[in-house]
């Protein structure tokens, strides 16, 4: 019985870890569609994340959204100063593609 409850606990933990919030999904989808995610430094050293669209539109993204995606290895940064660019990793690209395909169904 203990083995079964441990297995269920591990499955639930993995399921929760793989769930993304709507803002996280939106960032991955935007990157898949060609948007660019950059972190900009303000004069006082604060970091601000912005999505840049192909048409020039700019959307600010909460730092927790980007930090959590990077921590989960869905994004990687080129570490440039003063504006680092974030790219989808293979893992992030696969996940964003799955979201897009499931949205079509």
DSSP 8-state assignment for residue 45? S
Confidence at 103, pLDDT banded by 50, 70, 90 = low
Rounded CA separation 87/78 (Å)? 8
Please give the model's pTM, rounded to 2 decimal places: 0.74
Strands ordered across the beta sheet of 47-52: 58-61, 47-52, 36-41, 83-88, 75-77
pLDDT tens string 7-47? 665 555 554 455 788 899 999 999 999 999 999 888 888 88
- Residue 97: the pLDDT is 87
Average pLDDT, the chain: 82
- All domains in the chain, ordered by first residue: 22-104 (1.10.10.10)
- Residue 101: the pLDDT is 74
- Residue 14: the pLDDT is 52
């Amino acid at each position: 019985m203990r083995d079964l409850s441990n297995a269920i606990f591990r499955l639930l933990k993995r399921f929760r870890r793989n769930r993304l919030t709507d803002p996280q999904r939106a960032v991955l989808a935007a990157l898949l569609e060609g948007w660019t995610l950059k972190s900009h430094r303000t004069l006082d050293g604060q970091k601000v994340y912005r999505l840049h669209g192909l048409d020039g539109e700019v959307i600010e993204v909460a730092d927790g959204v980007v930090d959590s995606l990077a921590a989960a290895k869905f994004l990687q940064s080129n570490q440039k100063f003063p504006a680092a660019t974030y790219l989808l990793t293979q893992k992030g690209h696969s996940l964003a593609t799955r979201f897009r395909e499931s949205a079509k169904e």
